[in-house]
Amino acid sequence: MATAVVGAGRPASDLPLHAAGHHDTDGRSVLDRVISSYTPTIRALSHVRGRRHTGERAVRPRRLVVSMPHTPDAADLPGARDEAGLLPGATILTGSEATRDRVDAALHEATWAHFACHAQSRFDDPSSSFLLLHDHQDNPFDVRHLSTLRLPHAELAYLSACSTSQPGPQLIDEAVHISAAFQLAGFPHVIGTLWAIKDRAAPKMAQAIYTDLLHGPADDRDIAGVVHRAAHRMRQAYPRLPLMWAAHLHVGL
């Protein structure tokens, strides 16, 4: 199966191109023919490719989970608690522990980072789009802040939150969103979402992805393939509910 790298030119950047086609018959959709991977800009892709060859790798894998089942001034996310247990041996920051400063410190040691939380995309000012941590009102964990981070061990960021890969309408030639900011901070692989995801659906997709990542072939170059296969399995389970699986995409290598 071929791999397709999709650029971010408007207006195609906010379309689920990986889910295009007819899903009622085998072989008539993009999902049946190619493994899709997105990049916000060619410069971003070049950045993570260049970093990959510098030898900046952690001595051993370190996993971080930021889980926000309860967030100040936001609706509860019971599914976030379920996602917290999907990465064995991970450092878990939840509730009042999940402040911007503590998450920053943990990210500098992490290889994989999983965020199960709310996100807010500000299409009038994409650089202000942010993930809702415990202190989001005073210290927003936003695109502007994320873009200043330089994370030496970063490999994979999974953003199980709403619309983390959805660009704003202002910039014609590039996409500015939360997933792109994680890529610029050093993560060569980012799993993001194109629209709002249901709290009950998010843990199912995450479990499908991590089942493959943790127990499948040990090839960190095939994370796009892992997301692809998870979407395939979710489509089989929910053939008439594309909102359960089509929002998730791979950003990066």
Query: pLDDT confidence of 183, banded at 50, 70, 90?
Result: very high
How wide is the angle at C-alpha 24 spanned by C-alphas 21 and 27, nearest 5°? 60
Average pLDDT over residues 84-91: 95
pLDDT of residue 95: 95
* pLDDT for position 79: 96
- 211: nearest Cα among 183, 242, 188, 232: 232
**Residue 113's CATH number:** 3.40.50.1460
| Rounded mean pLDDT, 76-84 | 96
**Stretch among 85-89, 90-94, 205-209, 235-239 having the lowest mean pLDDT:** 235-239
Mind listing the pLDDT tens digit for each residue in 2-53? Answer: 455 555 444 555 667 777 766 666 767 777 788 888 877 666 666 666 655 5
CB 162 within 8 A of CB 226: no
The b/e string for 131-142 (b: 16+ C-beta within 10 A; e otherwise) is: bbbbbbeebbbb
**What's the number of domains the chain is made of?**
1
Look at residue 58 in the predicted model and tell me its pLDDT.
44
pLDDT band of residue 250 (cuts 50, 70, 90) is very high
Beta pairing partners, 248: 193
In terms of Cα–Cα distance, which of 22, 34, 1, 56 is closest to 250?
Answer: 34
Burial class (CB in 10 A: 0-12, 13-18, 19+), 22: exposed
Please give the angle made by the CA atoms of 36, 43 and 15, to the nearest 5 degrees. Answer: 35
Query: 58 or 1: whose pLDDT is higher?
Result: 1
| Signed CA dihedral, 177, 220, 66, 104: sign only | negative
Domain range for residue 201? 2-252
Average pLDDT, the chain: 85
pLDDT of residue 123: 81
